[in-house]
Amino acid sequence: MTIKKLLIANRGEIASRIIKSAHQMGISTVAIYTDPDANSPYVREAKEAFKLDSSYLDAKTIIEIATTANVDAIHPGYGFLSENSNFANLVSKSNIKWVGPSANAIKKMGDKLTAKKLSEKANVPTLPMTSDPKEAKKIGYPLLIKAAAGGGGKGMRIVKSQKDLKESIASAQREAEGGFGDKRVFIERYIAKSRHIEIQILGDSYGNIVHLGERECSIQRRHQKVVEESPSPVVDEELRNKMGSAAIKIASLLKYESAGTVEFLLDEATKEFWFLEVNTRLQVEHPVTEEVTGIDLVREQLKIANGEPLDFSQEDIKWFGSSIEVRLYSEDPGNNFLPVTGKLIAFEPTEDPLVRWDTGVETGSEITPNFDPMLAKIISYGETRVEAANKLALALENSHFGGLKTNRDYLISILRSDEFLKGNTTTDFLEKAKIKDEINLNEEEIYFLAIAASMWIQGKNRYESEVLSNLSSGWNNARLPMQEIKLQFNDELLTVKYKNNREEIFTTDKNNSAKINTWDKNFIDVEIDNTRIRSKVTFDNELLLIQSKSGDVLFKILPKFETVKKVAIEGGLNAPMPGKVVEIKIKKGAKIKKGDTLIILEAMKMEHKVLAPSDGKVKEILIHKDEQVENGATLVVLD
């Protein structure tokens, strides 16, 4: 049976990515979606789309939709059911092709204990581990708790001492069950300073297995990869061959088919490496391998599922240049990287320099707490690693997007840092490198942008005026105060006062001269004291997003007259983000100490602790378990 119609059992950017390759091969596509994704781009991109009333973990309903749509194959993407052997079995039993490795391979590698044994059988070293908490002391702290059924940082916790073990295991289990439908976890030795190296493999149903080189994914926070690249700055041809051979040995024992990844931990000093796990799916970071090898991994997956042999051997695979990928998240780096929800009022990737954008969002997309906070993956290619890094940083700076907090400035700071450009990217990189959370602009540059924003606002007011619109902005026949616009940038209040001296030339109360060269609904070109600012502008209700030389700046336009403010509850502890209350660890009247965990919230499939800001007593609890709370909602009152 030839694949003519494909259902993608996933969402967001990976669904769009799979649809693109499928259409290039002439394969029709079917998307599934839940209510929050009803207006997502991938739903429109697919040839057909079906609503899923439950969740993306509902295997039975997905099979029913596939049968109704009369598809030939299902591609699971990554996350959700991609590494669920029961789902793979169910697909095959329904006479639908499964785009991925066999259910047997998924089951063996999904059980990390079995995976470790397989690695040992292939004579590949592994780190000490156990699934029994009583054995934790024998391994030695620090430890790493990991989900048995998936990755992506979900269900992972670093444990530094015995007292934190029980709570960390319970939290990891909840997160693993929510992300993968499987709460099993295990404990492994944690090595703080190392490199995370993974080998991409491809296998067909005829026993042919090749590796496509390595990716380095050492830069991580909250156990989620932030930057990935290929090749690694420390892996030479000899080491690549050793790690590639080890990966193929493990894959051969599995009789592996489709795309997969064998992950290793590398000691940079000794070049010793240890097997970590096999990801029996397409990886989030697969584009960097595609960029340096020229091989479309989704295309290869579909060909293998179609029963075709690999049409290249190991000797045919060559690597050219360097590719780097960063993950753009809706999160606040200045607030412990907590996820952020809201409306993306602008999303306009730059065309210069040209880089690859794999994304599932667009202008107007609502970012909800239901899913992972990743907005896009941006991938660059260069003849050298430094060129790839510089292109990627410049592309982020030149793009126009925002409306809510993202980690864009943080990513730019990483890519521009000397440590990164030198290749010093061990797993402790973010701890040792001085990475800035916010855009690198001084006070004068921020104020000039505020002037430019004010000039755009006055242009908007004039454009929309229905009375005397032919008069110059700010014209009057009396001696009146300057016009005034109040803007908020982060927690800073900026007031711009100005008057119109002559047509399109303004003076501020600080004697700045502002000459407007061009104005339209999405752009302003203004000269302020001989400094030229040419910026895209997006306005949405009270928010104004304006481009700077280093990225976008978001201003909130404040009303001319202050409104009555809500009075905060004295002693109230507020939710740092919207989320679901998964555990309340305190009772009314309980005494607490600074740093105690009071509430655990779940947002975007990750758990976040709300800690006591000081010693005290619980006066009142205003929420209950399983309640969905808004950002800023008062959770408890402390005395």
Q: Enumerate the active-site residues.
A: 281
Structure tokens given for 490: 């982060």
Give me the sheet containing 591-592, strands edge to edge. 572-574, 634-638, 616-621, 591-592
DSSP assignment letter at 126 = B
- Say how far residue 304 (Cα) sits from the centre of its chain: 29
CA dihedral (629, 630, 634, 635) positive or negative: positive
Phi, psi of 432 (to 5 degrees): -95, -25
In whole angstroms, give the CA distance from residue 272 to residue 126.
11
DSSP states of 473-508 as a string?
Answer: TT--SS--PPEEEEEEETTEEEEEEEEEEETTEEEE
Q: How far apart are CA 551 and CA 530, in angstroms?
A: 21
Compute the distance between CA of residue 72 and CA of residue 595 in angstroms, rounded to an integer. Answer: 54
Compute the distance between CA of residue 121 and CA of residue 213 in angstroms, rounded to an integer: 22
Q: Which long-range contacts (CB under 8 A, 24 or more apart) does 84-90 make?
A: 84/59, 84/110, 84/149, 84/180, 84/181, 84/182, 85/110, 86/59, 87/9, 87/59, 87/62, 90/59, 90/60, 90/63
* Amino acid in the structure at residue 543: L
Look at residue 89 and give its three-state secondary structure: helix
Q: Which amino acid is at 312?
A: F
Query: What SS3 state is found at 114?
Result: helix
Amino acid occupying residue 578: P
Contacts of 203 (CB under 8 A, 6+ apart): 101, 209, 210, 251, 255, 256, 257, 258, 260, 304, 310
Residue 534 has which token pair? 């040419």
Helix (H) or strand (E) holding 173: helix 165-180
Q: At residue 115, what are phi and psi to the nearest 5 degrees?
A: -60, -40
